[in-house]
Structure 1
Amino acid sequence: MEVKVLCDAETIEAVAETVSTSLRSGLNVPHMIGDLEKPVHLYHWKTFLAQLFIPLKNIRKYQHFLIDAGKPGLVFCKTSEKSTVETHCLLNFKEC
Structure 2
Amino acid sequence: MSVLAKTTDGTNWTSLTVPFVTNTSTSLNGAYCFDANTCTIVGNNTTVWRTADAGANWVNQSFGATNNNLSLSCTTSISNACYVSSTSGFIFKRASN
Q: What TM-score does the superposition give when structure 1 sets the normalisation length?
A: 0.31
Which has more radius of gyration? 1
Higher helix share goes to which structure?
Answer: 1
